Structure 1
């Protein structure tokens, strides 16, 4: 067994690059960033670090490109031979490399998106305008316009702990991204190019020197501020640009009232989700709402000033309307000194001076100056409409419906609250508190805190408007009483003299049994007096949330997906009968085991009437920054999702899903029953829970300072009941097994047996196709060689064999059904991304394994070795960066 010669090493690297067919510009970015990192490692790392990184890198690439060779064993030996200190440095180097590759891939995506701009015909279902054209051809232009007007996309950002990298690292990467942009626009060979490369080198050196993992868990306030960065950097300006792009496509003149009405609503659980998180208190919720309001009002203030300064239209060419003059008089009488100064600077520019004075009212709203502040965003919109109407009446239609319209869209989308804060709490907590209140004894700290939450909701609604807070989600809803309890608690909280907050109480059905019981529970609760009154007040609108995570951990990914489809179909049919406008709220995670995967294909696979132009889902962890951190990518993501929402409600799409569900009902039943039995064979085996904790870094993941919420509801690892879905998925992902995303499917496909029918189902049944494609992605990121190494940490050969046999069976079945001879053959871009990363992830996995072995081999009563523990946590962060959708 010999180390590869330089020629063999170069051949392995060359084969890897050649097989992936990397676009030339992306290849150049990766090589430049990689070479700069190599220089930093030589300059700033310890002696010989660069050479050791290269040895492990080449070994894992060689093992990946030539799996039948002895190269994998050689890579294991290299990783095991490092000192702990050197292994720590190598892990940091590979993690930094992943951040750079992710950046390069993001830039490539942006290049492709910019090339496609203005070419919706290349992907008619991939844009709102293209979807609208298809829908209009099917149901008529007027009906399609009505669907467009009622369109709603509602992402809800959560603080669920799946973003493994520090915010400082994210900030450094964002600065580096700007430099890569600048380099692309800089002439080659001159001093300007050298300057940018020098700045890039400085930034990569900073990235290398920055500790990659947090020393302490972030507080809920830290999490709020992290999410605010996404609003400030992209969403505040990107969303109105999306509206504009669609409107320009549908009516290119630019001098007419817009067709598009704001269809994005943003929600947030950050600072509101207290299910299992004792650190989210009523005080935190108040603070979260205040921080969000501060951010949006600052944004609106700046936008209004910018638009106002640009309205230098003379009264002679653009005479003001009577309504505008009346508005100016009202504003002037309330703010005389400022009005005089503005009028002096803009004596014959009535629209400019009015809008500049309006911006002062926005400032007063933010600083809580009661004499000038707006009472609510509707009053600001009304004033902006007066300015817009005056411009249009004077013939300045382009100014009326240009940047001013975008400001109006921003107010309509974000109000004065930015994100609609949602509260979530466990049904068992409500029941415990009510039992104590009904008993009439002394109130515990928990009871006082639960009641204070309702007072906080009232406060937030009064200060920032009713949209600022008001959705209350009951996790583990198992009866109508669980929902009615929320209204009882609200009355207890305010007593006889207070104002009961306006609440939309949302059931969250999570487990397999709860999903099946959902229609019955809903039928009962709508007759409850307060529920019925709220339905009447909202035009019979109702939200129902479905949990993907716990249902998957409960019965396995295949049975959970099918159960979720059946629950949606039943709930949608019930809502149709009851004349209820239903919005299904999808509690999806980033990982495939938690309902992750491409959102647009999932939307198109939903049951009839379960979308109806409205789609709401959770966005969390690394997914938030991957989808919304870059303006171009955020625009494309929202465009794609909104297009899918429109298309999903088309009669042809609904009929296709209905017919496929009926035709393949027998297959669905066989898949559900067999996969669930296979899943239970594993997770209900005696000793499974402690074995799982041994063969994965599940316990250690809980030590990583990912988020403020604890990883478990309880303390025991003897049962999976109290283990949250995120560490369940995260741990299997880190072990390169990804079991939560696929286990049971192979056995289920084999039980169906009829391969021709399964291939036909893949072509005709959207739900099945989405499931198979997501499993293919999950398996592509797994690695059976490394999986075996993790499974060998336990002493249960029977369970290890069960996992590996099912992995092989599932991989074989998925490849045969999807075609192409290997996983993701029908998705070349995704396949390229996975294959490009895999050898480098392998290197980090080998470093993680050596640390995990050392920790597992230590005496039970001995304290954990801090150096090995640190190495393990570093590798966890690196693998998360390499695989991307970890939780």
Structure 2
């Protein structure tokens, strides 16, 4: 028995009732991996892995000096080649444990559905039940969904460390593990399933974890598209079908279609396609010089090819299914007309009008694919036919099939593949996902300045103050005169911006306005930033002088100052008639994006969350006064430091009026694979997003009785936390040197995990570093500083200023205020994953002993203060006492997560002292992969 990887509780007391199946799966996969390591690499490697694991447990438990020295001896004497094998063993166990946990979540969900105790929190059933209790009927809910808009937006960022090859193997293992659980076979069948799993794990072990070349933007597009095959194309239509059926049952609309009995069908309450996918991959050029006009064109072509392949494949299968004979079942006149229009005249299909109609639709769709330059999407020969003008035309032909089936006693047949296909066409169109464009406001400013200077030599736009800029831009927007001249030459940056926007206009003409709906302005700090983009859009025809816009102009407020100024910036924009007309042309809906990453790096976790909450509250008031609907776009990352945590809790914790049925949320980095690689989990995550939006929009928002006093307390807490965070990160001499030495930031910058540079400029300044690698680096060394630093200092300062009731106030805030409850809960998860023992080993990499002791001493002291404060507020004796499932998950990871940190420290030491070798760097990159997998939400 290979116990080195099978027993991972490391001294935990007791076992949750639901643990048995999960522990069985982990031990099962661990035994398989252990056998493979021993067979492939030898008993010496296997035994060394076990020694490292046991010693790491001792060090984690007691920060034992003898264990520290033993680890140094074990790792220091380990050759690079042997070290790589050790890292791969622990890393792959992290991945296998994740698979087991995901399968257990699905198992628990199935068990919850079957136990008859009512729908679980976070499900659509639970949300609809709450709505029903509140007196909201099915018709009212359907009206709500008609105006709702919910959109998860996939983004590619330099923390995604998983290769598609390894992800494919892991999905195979997950499928087999699920089959093993469901079937519970015995004898030869069980042996066969186990052998398949062993083969899959062996294939995983023999697949390189790392890419040998840096990802291109197109590589990222390919990776993003894979999740449509895994989850979105199938699970999104299924979610809609389930929602429609639940609404119909709730509204008392469950009736039999014509024909009754089994041939009839359950009628549904139709729901608009309010949940749609978005993407930044291939359109986000803020700081990414590799996103060009050609990349944009290629990205949209790949989107279209993916959609067309899916539709054509589904049509082919649908034709095989609908073999109904007109000699047995009548059809509608419209269906017969569609069938008779088909050039297919096969004798065996003369009496099968549905098949002939589908052949005609297939031919038209194939012709459309050719016209849209994706002829390679057509997998089989199709007769010549006229193309579809748009996806809506395809949808109308599919509606004809649906209506004929329902009207002639075959409604049940319409509820299968056809129902899913009709919904997919409505959701994904020919563009698959709405691709956002994003660029920095500074780039727009420079481009506009150049256009104005070329058009009117001597014009110095950059010298104007804000009021003068707004006045000039407003005048230009109102005139039909173009600024761009075909006879002038422009700089590379301006020419590139215009080229991107011209391609966007061409994509609108080819695929429709839904293909590119939003153009986002990073670092928005003035109303002129919005008008600058509008002027550039006007030059390519996406904005017209009559005040209509074909896209949404979306400001992104990122830093603490930006969040504070954002509401006033929007008020001034709405007061500008030229901009106000643009908003009116978009249905009087204005989207605003809020950045969780830069605000955190700028002001720390507590202040970032508080300033985001205040900004939302003030935006709601500003928009209400202007008579404009607000749609918030939350730029959340995977880690808590970048807005991560439970999406359900985060949405319900929004201030009153901030959701209103409209929300977009980024899905970033490794979070995409953990949420959406498994179709079952993907469906659950999509459902949770919808359920939370419904509850936050239609049900009363709970608020403390004394919200004004709580907000005043929160302001004081934020001020103290801000001072503590800024004092360490930006005001401590030598902090940058500490950060670059005590983390893997240098090595992350060289890892082939993203097309975007780690820093905005070639400096070591924290201000110039991107927020994503900043958070990622602190996660790797297990300090997790961006997710908690400053909280302990803030609570201590508050209690010192209010000795009589200070702690009672924050305890009541935690109990009664969803915003503060969520803030504390997310921080608790981060603190539980933090290990000061491990972080101390990274601190040893700082060559300046005095600097090391000073800064790490402050970090450790604040970690202790934050932990103590959190326990006092929550009334717990240990972190996550109130969440034993999460506590178990984190605790069980330490025995195979900690060793990766110890090996990483040793490899960093050797790599840096020996001026670096490729093998050392490769080993460091492998540890980054494994630690990221073990933490799951590290970027």
TM range (shorter): over 0.9
1:732 aligns with 2:772: no
Pair 496,96 (structure 1): closer, same or farther in 2 beyond 3 Å? closer
**Secondary structure, aligned partner of 1:761:** helix
Cα 1:14/1:689, change in 2 over 3 Å: closer
- Is 1:109 matched up with 2:126? no
Tell me the CA shift for residue 701 of structure 1.
0.8
Residue 283 of structure 1: aligned partner: 294
**Structure 1 position 878 matched with structure 2 position 930:** yes
For residue 56 of structure 1, report the CA deviation from its aligned partner. 0.7
Q: How far apart, in 2, do the equivalents of 1:73 and 1:835 lie? A: 24
Q: CA deviation at 1:76?
A: 4.2
Distance in 2, matches of 1:19 and 1:226, equals 38
1:386 aligns with 2:434: no
By how many angstroms is 1:739 displaced? 0.3
**Which residue number corresponds to residue 356 of structure 1?**
359
Aligned to 1:219: 216
Q: Secondary structure at the match of 1:15?
A: coil
Q: What is the match of residue 292 of structure 1? A: 303
How far off its partner does 1:650 sit? 3.2
Matched, 1:532 2:580: yes
The CA RMSD measured in Å over matched residues stands at: 2.7
1:145 deviates by 3.8
**What are the Cα deviations for residues 108-145 of structure 1, in whole angstroms up to 9, with x where unaligned?**
11211222236685445422232122123224314344
- Does residue 366 of structure 1 match 2:369? yes
* Equivalent of 1:467 in 507, 511, 514: 514
Distance 2:815 2:115 in 1: 27
Cα distance, 1:256 vs. partner? 1.4
1:627 — aligned with what?
675
Matches within 5 A, 1:53-64: 53-64=49-60
SS of the residue 1:374 aligns to:
coil
- Per-residue CA deviation, residues 560-589 of structure 1 (Å, 9 max, x unaligned), is 000000001111122222222211000000
Q: Does 1:817 align with 2:873?
A: yes
In structure 2, the residue corresponding to 1:508 is in which secondary structure?
A: strand
Shift of the 165–55 alpha-carbon distance from structure 1 to 2, 3 Å rule, reads same
370-379 vs 37-46, which moves further: 370-379
Equivalent-residue separation in structure 2 for 1:44 and 1:669 (angstroms): 58
Q: After superposition, what is the alpha-carbon deviation per residue over 1:372-425, rounded to whole angstroms, capped at 9, x for unaligned?
A: 221111112222223323333334333345543322211111111111011110
Shift of 1:14: 6.4
Q: Secondary structure at the match of 2:554?
A: strand
Q: 1:823 to 1:660 in 2, by over 3 A?
A: farther
Correspondence for 2:816: 764
Shift, 1:427, TM fit: 0.6
In the alignment, what sits opposite 1:609?
657
Preserved CA contact (<8 Å) 1:161 1:706:
yes
Decide whether aligned partners of structure 1 residues 21 and 856 sit closer, same or farther in structure 2, where only a CA change above 3 A counts: farther
Greater alpha carbon shift after TM alignment, 582-591 vs 124-133: 124-133
Contact persistence 1:121–1:130 (CA under 8 A)? no
What does residue 3 of structure 1 align with?
A: none
> Aligned runs of 1:223-238 on 2, under 5 Å?
223-238=220-235
Q: Measured at CA, do residues 682 and 416 of structure 1 come closer, stay the same or move farther in structure 2, by a change above 3 Å?
A: same
Q: Structure 1: state its 5+ residue gaps.
A: 1-5
Aligned-pair distance for 1:274? 0.5
Q: 2:900 aligns with which of 830, 834, 844?
A: 844
Q: Work out which of the residue numbers 216, 237, 260 in structure 1 matches 2:271.
A: 260
- For residues 642 and 7 of structure 2, the distance between their equivalents in structure 1, rounded to whole angstroms, comes to 39
What CA distance in whole angstroms lies between the structure 2 residues aligned with 1:69 and 1:686? 30
How far does residue 646 in structure 1 lie from its aligned partner after superposition? 0.9
Aligned residue for 2:691? 643
Give yes or no for contact 1:20–1:836 (8 Å, CA) kept in 2. Answer: no
1:463-519 residue CA offsets vs partner (Å, 9 max, x unmatched): 222101131100001111111111222333469999998221110000111111111
User: Does residue 43 of structure 1 match 2:39?
Assistant: yes
Q: Distance in 1 between matches of 2:691 and 2:405?
A: 32
Q: TM-score, normalised by structure 1?
A: 0.93
Does 1:699 pair with 2:746?
Answer: yes
Comparing 838-847 and 661-670, the one that deviates more: 661-670
Contact kept? 1:157, 1:268, Cα under 8 Å: yes
State the distance in 2 between where 1:851 and 1:114 align: 44
Asked if the contact 2:649–2:822 (Cα under 8 Å) also holds between the matched residues in 1, the reply is yes
Q: Does 1:405 align with 2:419?
A: yes
Q: Distance in 2 between matches of 1:145 and 1:188?
A: 44
Structure 1 partner of 2:796: 750
The 3 A distance-change label for structure 1 pair 228 and 376 is same
Quick check: 2:158–2:753 contact (8 Å CA) kept in 1?
yes
Q: Is contact 2:671–2:937 with CA below 8 Å preserved after alignment? A: yes
Report what 2:485 is aligned to. none
SS in 2 for 1:117: helix
Query: Residues of 2 paired with 1:626 and 1:417: CA distance?
Result: 25
Structure 1 pair 187/632, CA: closer, same or farther in 2 (3 Å)?
Answer: closer
Q: Distance in 1 between matches of 2:787 and 2:4?
A: 36
Q: Residues 12 and 480 (structure 1 numbering): CA distance in 2 closer, same or farther, change over 3 Å?
A: closer
Alpha-carbon distance change, 289 to 527 in structure 1, aligned in 2, over 3 angstroms: farther
Q: Does 2:77 align with 1:31?
A: no
Kept in 2: contact 1:729–1:738 (CA 8 A) = yes
Q: Note the alpha carbon deviations across 1:302-355, whole angstroms, 9 max, x for none.
A: 2233334323334355433333344445x43xxx2x3x23xx333233334223
Which SS does the other structure have where 1:822 is aligned? coil
Three-state SS of the structure 2 residue aligned to 1:708 is: coil
Contact 1:792 1:800 in 2 (8 A): no
**CA offsets 1:579-621 (integer angstroms, 9 cap, x no match):** 2221100000001110001100000000111101122110011
Q: State yes or no: 1:456 paired with 2:506.
A: no
Give, in whole Å, the separation in 1 of the partners of 2:492 and 2:35: 56
Q: Please tell me whether the aligned partners of residues 125 and 643 of structure 1 are also in contact (alpha carbons under 8 angstroms).
A: no
CA 147–230 in structure 1, closer or farther in 2 if over 3 Å, else same: same
